[in-house]
Amino acid sequence: MSKHSYSFQLDEYGNTTGIYVRTRRIGVMSNNYTNRGTAFNRDERQQLELEGMLPPTVRTLDQQLRMSFMKLDTKTSDVGKFIFLRALFDRNVTLAHALIKEDIENLMKIIYTPTVGLACRQYSSMFRTAQGLHFYPGNIDQAEEILKRYSRRNIRVAVVTDNQGILGIGDQGAGGIAICLGKLMLYTQGAGIAPWHCLPVSLDVGTDSEELLNDRDYLGWRHNRIRGEEYISFVQRFARAFKKVYPDALCQWEDFSKQNAFEIRDTYLHDMISFNDDIQGTGSVALAAILTAMKIKKEKLADQRFLIYGGGAGGIGVAEQITTALCESGLSDLESRERIYVFDRHGLVTDANAENYKKKFAKSPDHLEWFRNQEDGTLMKVIKKAGITVMVGASGQAGHFTQDVIESMMKNSKEPVILPLSNPTEYSEAAPADIFRWTAGQALVATGSPFESVEQKGSKIRIGQCNNVFIFPGVGLGILASGSRELIPAFFTAAAYAVSECVTEEDRKKRILMPPIDTLAEVSRRVAIAVGRTAIHKNISGTYAFGTFQHNNDEERLKLLIEKMIWKPVYLPLIPS
């Protein structure tokens, strides 16, 4: 008999069909997986010894949702709404996810960007209930033992951060775990990965924020960030323990600094089932918008010239994913990279100024007849001389796509593709309304942050959002369902094509590049199928660890498994044990 107060009943597909309950009374109500508040029915109240602890009336989930929306509507600030949703999640996880699902388009802005950035900053003062794991130098040697404590939850996805590159606001110390919590809520909303199979992890290696270090209420490890070999050793100890305890689980690296993001991703590329969403997720979702634009323009990807404005993790991720897609279209790696120009704070990235992770996209001045000195590497000059037709903003610098820059794009293409992806909204390289005005409505635009619809020719046009949420939940589900033992770049190309296919013909006629947020569940399902099929075609699908299937190289069975694995936020049977 397990010493834990609950465990999960799984069917042959790995979906949860019930929860075994080994406690009674307050023990049932104090656990957010087993608690259902006023929705405990008569039999459950008797069997779990709850009679007399609740008012007599039994409410349905729908009635609870109505009451919860009424309470949510009383919150006047986004932070207030965030606190309400997190408190509800900590109390009743099924009700919280049912509430979010009812209004995913609006509530995603609360549980994730931009509101979660405020939650990171206020983490210590807002702390109420422990969620996830915090590793720091004082306990990293116990990582394996600590991870094993969560084995009853059958962990399938972990989102792991070292808290350094949080959402463009930088080092947030222990508060960065709020990002992991938000991302995992989206894994559940998008891909139906049950919340008990999700694990948020903070690798607290200190902080260089003097504000946090001097804050008497700060909950993190009060120490400047460790670096070099000490940092590498810390991450290695976590990675070894995670792989040993959860060899079949997906590990998503989140919000690491630029250099660490690439080094960690590449180090564990073949040792763990892992990826970095800031790099690969961003690259995939940007590619999805570009692919939709190609359908609208009726042009080939290989005929474009790409400029990536921003040489951080996101920007290089976009460049990498475009390269992968171009190679899959028949170009060589060199031919693909020749079509891509990357900008950072120094201007055009060249052999002379490229950092390690940018070098494969650095241009050699000797091979550019128009490049004589760094002054020739200005944005306007490169757009003109290189014939740029697709421009992606990943700089975190507001307003850098000026009218002159946009108008210069029009000289290369009647329908330039312009993606100002930096977020939050106030960091966007340009506002869609301005881009449309400067191009007489001819530009094809999608953004990283949510923008209001823009009026075009007498009608309101929705602005497609290149949100990574269209990518990572489906990629995760596809990997789990296929049993893939590794994660390859082709998964993200397949995901991009799947997302693009979800843009309806009606929306393409309106020149919209991305599907609406409220179709997230369907988009994630189609992404999962595309990723699973890719695993089968690449011959890397394997044994499925969470069900009884031994092999999964049948596409019809893959689709069935994906459908059956998806958890929906409804109350499961509670089985007294």
* pLDDT value, residue 543: 58
Which CATH number covers residue 287? 3.40.50.720
Pair (155, 191) in one structural domain: yes
CA distance 116 to 145: 30
Residue 153: inside a domain = yes
What is the 3-state secondary structure of 212-240? HHCCCCCCCCCCCCCCHHHHHHHHHHHHH
Catalytic residue among 183, 258, 358, 363: 183
Pair (252, 303) in one structural domain: no
What are the CA-CA distances from residue 517 to residues 17, 175, 418, 425, 568 (Å)? 28, 27, 20, 17, 18
Residue 332's domain comprises 280-469
Question: Which residues in the chain land under pLDDT 50?
Answer: 1-2, 544-550
- Tell which of 469, 491, 525 closes a domain: 469
Residue 484: inside a domain = no
* pLDDT value, residue 3: 61
Pair (303, 266) in one structural domain: no
Residue 249: inside a domain = yes
CA distance 508 to 285: 17
Pairing of strands 16-21, 574-576: parallel
Pair (253, 352) in one structural domain: no
Domain count, the chain: 2
Measured between its terminal Cα atoms, the distance across the chain in Å is 9
Q: Can you tell me whether residue 521 is helix, strand or coil?
A: helix
Catalytic residue among 6, 13, 33, 112: 112
Number of alpha carbons in the 13 Å side-chain half-sphere of residue 76: 0
Residue 194: inside a domain = yes
What are the CA-CA distances from residue 475 to residues 375, 471, 504 (Å)? 42, 6, 21
> Tell me: the pLDDT tens digits for 51-91?
999 999 999 999 999 999 999 999 999 999 999 999 999 99
Which CATH number covers residue 236? 3.40.50.10380
The pair of structure tokens assigned to 39 is 């929705």
CA distance 515 to 471: 12
Q: Is-catalytic flag, 457? A: no
- Tell which of 272, 298, 328 closes a domain: 272
Q: What is the pTM of this model?
A: 0.94
Residue 43: inside a domain = no
Pair (213, 91) in one structural domain: yes
Pair (140, 195) in one structural domain: yes
Pair (284, 180) in one structural domain: no
Q: Is-catalytic flag, 136? A: no
Pair (219, 365) in one structural domain: no
13, 561 in Cβ contact below 8 A? yes
Report the candidate in 533, 509, 477 with the shortest Cα–Cα distance to residue 189.
477
CA distance 90 to 30: 9
* pLDDT value, residue 439: 97
Residue 304: inside a domain = yes
Pair (386, 297) in one structural domain: yes
